[in-house]
Amino acid sequence: MRELIDSEGVSRGLRRVAGQIVERQRGAEGLVLIGVRRGGEPLAREIARWVRELEGHEVPVGSVDITLYRDDAATALPNPRIGPSQVPCALEGKRVVLVDDVVFTGRTIRAAIDALMDYGRPERIELAALVDRGGRELPIQPDYVVLRAEVGPRDRIDVVERPGGMVALICPAGSPSTPPTP
């Protein structure tokens, strides 16, 4: 297990992403940030904090749980736990930025987009991720990325909260998952 990005890298990266999000549409008008549960939730909140700092604008933040939208939902979950989705406002005509910690096959994002569509018809949906590790199985690409990383196909990336902030770790195939906070 080694550190892929330290907490300072995560913090600077998210600030940069917040700047790019604001830059692309020249402001934060109609912007809604939705974290993909659960890894994307704290990242979405952090990006919202930076947008507020940059624009003086409070951005609605929510989360979406994709369990019911997985393409393997009916066969692959021996012990399913469905979390709550919290969409803070109607998405009709809004600019939604989906936020996830790691983009890999793209299947999670496909499911998250389907889930969002059931809350209304956003004007556009963009995607921000902390780590893009490649290995896509669907034609889905993030619009904003903090770090692109070459990772073995069976290695795992854990994003965890540490006393100094969030860090991303690379864990070799087969290693136990990282405890949330030491």
Q: Which residues are near another protein by CB under 8 A?
A: 65, 67-69, 72-85, 90, 100, 102-105, 107-108, 114, 117-120
**Can you tell me which residue has the tokens 């690409």?**
141
Q: How far apart are CA 22 and CA 86, in angstroms?
A: 23
Asked whether the beta carbons of 98 and 127 are under 8 A apart, the reply is: yes
Nearer to another protein, 26 or 76 (CB): 76
Rounded Cα–Cα distance for residues 175 and 150 (Å): 18
User: Min. distance of Cβ 13 from another protein in angstroms?
Assistant: 19
Cα distances from 134 to residues 30, 80, 103, 150, 161, in angstroms, run 30, 27, 7, 7, 23
DSSP of 86-98, one letter per residue? B--S--TT-EEEE
Q: Which is nearer to another protein, 29 or 137 (CB)?
A: 137
* Distance in Å, CB of 21 to another protein, minimum: 22
In the complex with another protein, the residue whose CB is nearer, 54 or 73, is 73
Cα 74 to Cα 77: distance, rounded to the nearest angstrom = 7
User: How far apart are CB 94 and another protein at their closest, in Å?
Assistant: 13
Minimum distance from residue 41 beta carbon to another protein (Å): 15
Q: Which CB atom, from 28 or from 168, has the smaller least distance to another protein?
A: 168
Tokens of 173: 């195939």
- Owner of token pair 């939705």: 34
Instruction: Pick between residue 76 and residue 139 the one whose CB is nearest to another protein.
Output: 76
